Amino acid sequence: MQYWLMKSEPGEVSIDDLQNMPEQKVEWFGIRNYQARNFMRDQMKIGDLAIFWHSSCKEPGIYGIVEICSDAHPDSLQFDPNSDYYEPKSTTDKAVWWCVDVKFIKKTRYISIQELRTYPELEEMRVLQKGNRLSITPVTDKEWQFIGKLLDQKIKS
Protein backbone atom coordinates (compact mmCIF):
# COMPACT_ATOMS: atom_id res chain seq x y z
CA MET A 1 0.00 0.00 0.00
CA GLN A 2 1.44 3.23 -1.19
CA TYR A 3 0.40 6.85 -0.59
CA TRP A 4 0.37 9.62 -3.18
CA LEU A 5 -0.33 13.26 -3.76
CA MET A 6 -2.22 14.20 -6.91
CA LYS A 7 -2.57 17.75 -8.14
CA SER A 8 -5.59 18.94 -10.03
CA GLU A 9 -6.49 22.36 -11.26
CA PRO A 10 -9.86 23.16 -9.67
CA GLY A 11 -10.92 24.71 -12.99
CA GLU A 12 -10.55 21.24 -14.55
CA VAL A 13 -11.60 18.89 -11.75
CA SER A 14 -12.06 20.22 -8.22
CA ILE A 15 -12.80 18.09 -5.16
CA ASP A 16 -16.43 19.19 -5.43
CA ASP A 17 -16.53 18.21 -9.10
CA LEU A 18 -15.23 14.77 -8.17
CA GLN A 19 -17.80 14.39 -5.41
CA ASN A 20 -20.53 15.13 -7.95
CA MET A 21 -19.28 12.76 -10.66
CA PRO A 22 -21.24 9.59 -11.46
CA GLU A 23 -20.09 7.01 -8.88
CA GLN A 24 -17.80 9.76 -7.57
CA LYS A 25 -15.08 8.53 -9.90
CA VAL A 26 -12.96 10.18 -12.56
CA GLU A 27 -10.31 9.16 -15.05
CA TRP A 28 -7.12 11.01 -14.17
CA PHE A 29 -6.81 12.34 -17.70
CA GLY A 30 -4.38 14.81 -19.17
CA ILE A 31 -1.11 13.82 -17.52
CA ARG A 32 1.55 14.52 -20.15
CA ASN A 33 4.70 14.03 -18.11
CA TYR A 34 6.65 10.79 -18.21
CA GLN A 35 7.50 10.60 -14.52
CA ALA A 36 3.90 11.12 -13.49
CA ARG A 37 2.74 8.64 -16.12
CA ASN A 38 5.21 6.06 -14.86
CA PHE A 39 3.95 6.42 -11.28
CA MET A 40 0.42 5.70 -12.49
CA ARG A 41 1.33 2.98 -14.95
CA ASP A 42 3.99 1.13 -12.96
CA GLN A 43 3.49 1.77 -9.28
CA MET A 44 -0.07 2.64 -8.40
CA LYS A 45 -2.27 -0.16 -7.12
CA ILE A 46 -5.99 -0.33 -6.58
CA GLY A 47 -6.63 0.70 -3.00
CA ASP A 48 -3.74 3.15 -2.76
CA LEU A 49 -4.77 6.43 -1.18
CA ALA A 50 -3.90 9.91 -2.36
CA ILE A 51 -4.09 13.47 -1.14
CA PHE A 52 -6.22 15.56 -3.49
CA TRP A 53 -4.45 18.87 -4.08
CA HIS A 54 -5.67 21.98 -5.83
CA SER A 55 -2.93 23.61 -7.90
CA SER A 56 -2.57 26.65 -10.14
CA CYS A 57 -5.21 28.47 -8.16
CA LYS A 58 -5.59 31.14 -5.53
CA GLU A 59 -5.44 28.76 -2.58
CA PRO A 60 -3.23 25.77 -3.38
CA GLY A 61 -3.10 22.92 -0.90
CA ILE A 62 -4.88 19.86 0.46
CA TYR A 63 -8.64 19.55 -0.07
CA GLY A 64 -9.45 15.88 0.22
CA ILE A 65 -8.59 12.21 0.05
CA VAL A 66 -9.13 9.91 -2.91
CA GLU A 67 -8.52 6.24 -3.65
CA ILE A 68 -7.00 4.64 -6.73
CA CYS A 69 -9.84 2.52 -8.09
CA SER A 70 -8.58 1.09 -11.40
CA ASP A 71 -5.54 -0.45 -12.96
CA ALA A 72 -3.58 1.71 -15.39
CA HIS A 73 -5.19 2.15 -18.79
CA PRO A 74 -4.61 4.42 -21.79
CA ASP A 75 -5.74 8.01 -21.25
CA SER A 76 -8.80 8.31 -23.48
CA LEU A 77 -8.22 11.93 -24.48
CA GLN A 78 -4.97 11.15 -26.30
CA PHE A 79 -7.05 9.60 -29.10
CA ASP A 80 -9.33 12.61 -29.54
CA PRO A 81 -8.02 14.95 -32.26
CA ASN A 82 -10.21 17.73 -30.89
CA SER A 83 -8.78 17.52 -27.39
CA ASP A 84 -5.96 19.65 -26.07
CA TYR A 85 -4.58 16.36 -24.80
CA TYR A 86 -4.49 14.73 -28.25
CA GLU A 87 -1.34 12.67 -28.87
CA PRO A 88 -0.68 11.99 -32.58
CA LYS A 89 1.93 9.35 -31.74
CA SER A 90 -0.57 7.17 -29.91
CA THR A 91 -2.47 4.33 -31.50
CA THR A 92 -5.06 2.14 -29.80
CA ASP A 93 -2.49 -0.66 -29.86
CA LYS A 94 0.31 1.46 -28.57
CA ALA A 95 -0.69 4.30 -26.28
CA VAL A 96 1.86 6.79 -25.02
CA TRP A 97 -0.12 8.12 -22.07
CA TRP A 98 -1.54 6.01 -19.27
CA CYS A 99 -3.60 6.85 -16.24
CA VAL A 100 -5.72 5.40 -13.45
CA ASP A 101 -9.21 6.14 -12.20
CA VAL A 102 -9.68 7.81 -8.88
CA LYS A 103 -12.57 7.65 -6.43
CA PHE A 104 -13.77 10.26 -3.96
CA ILE A 105 -13.23 9.27 -0.33
CA LYS A 106 -13.75 12.48 1.59
CA LYS A 107 -13.33 16.19 1.69
CA THR A 108 -10.97 17.43 4.35
CA ARG A 109 -10.36 20.80 5.88
CA TYR A 110 -8.22 22.98 3.66
CA ILE A 111 -4.53 22.82 4.55
CA SER A 112 -2.61 25.56 2.79
CA ILE A 113 0.87 25.16 1.45
CA GLN A 114 2.01 27.84 3.90
CA GLU A 115 0.69 25.83 6.83
CA LEU A 116 2.38 22.67 5.56
CA ARG A 117 5.66 24.52 5.37
CA THR A 118 5.49 25.31 9.10
CA TYR A 119 5.86 21.64 10.12
CA PRO A 120 9.43 20.30 10.34
CA GLU A 121 7.94 16.80 9.96
CA LEU A 122 7.01 17.67 6.39
CA GLU A 123 10.04 19.59 5.26
CA GLU A 124 11.12 16.83 2.91
CA MET A 125 7.73 16.39 1.28
CA ARG A 126 8.13 16.34 -2.49
CA VAL A 127 5.38 18.83 -3.12
CA LEU A 128 7.05 21.39 -0.85
CA GLN A 129 10.47 21.18 -2.51
CA LYS A 130 11.67 24.15 -4.46
CA GLY A 131 11.17 23.75 -8.16
CA ASN A 132 8.86 20.78 -7.81
CA ARG A 133 6.46 20.68 -10.73
CA LEU A 134 5.48 17.03 -10.73
CA SER A 135 1.71 16.68 -10.51
CA ILE A 136 1.91 13.21 -8.96
CA THR A 137 4.33 12.50 -6.14
CA PRO A 138 4.75 9.69 -3.62
CA VAL A 139 3.99 10.48 0.01
CA THR A 140 5.86 8.59 2.72
CA ASP A 141 4.07 6.67 5.47
CA LYS A 142 5.34 9.14 8.04
CA GLU A 143 4.14 12.13 6.07
CA TRP A 144 0.76 10.49 5.56
CA GLN A 145 0.34 9.70 9.27
CA PHE A 146 1.35 13.21 10.24
CA ILE A 147 -1.07 14.81 7.80
CA GLY A 148 -3.75 12.45 9.07
CA LYS A 149 -3.25 13.93 12.53
CA LEU A 150 -3.45 17.45 11.15
CA LEU A 151 -6.73 16.60 9.50
CA ASP A 152 -8.21 15.33 12.74
CA GLN A 153 -7.57 18.71 14.30
CA LYS A 154 -10.57 20.97 13.99
CA ILE A 155 -8.61 24.19 13.45
CA LYS A 156 -4.96 24.94 13.78
CA SER A 157 -4.41 27.66 16.35
Interface residue list for DNA (CB under 7 A): 7, 9, 32-35, 53, 55-57, 60, 113-114, 117, 127, 129-135
Q: What is the DSSP string of 93-150?
A: SS-S-EE-EEEEEEEEEEEEHHHHHT-GGGTT-GGGSTT---SEEEE-HHHHHHHHHH
Q: Of 47 and 91, which CB lies nearer to DNA in the complex structure?
A: 91
Query: 119: left (phi > 0), else alpha (psi -120 to 50), else beta?
Result: beta
Q: How far is the CB of 117 from DNA (least distance, A)?
A: 7
Q: Of 115 and 121, which CB lies nearer to DNA in the complex structure?
A: 115
Q: How far is the CB of 6 from DNA (least distance, A)?
A: 10
Q: How far is the CB of 85 from DNA (least distance, A)?
A: 10
CA quadruple 7, 12, 15, 18: dihedral sign: negative
Q: Of 24 and 134, which CB lies nearer to DNA in the complex structure?
A: 134
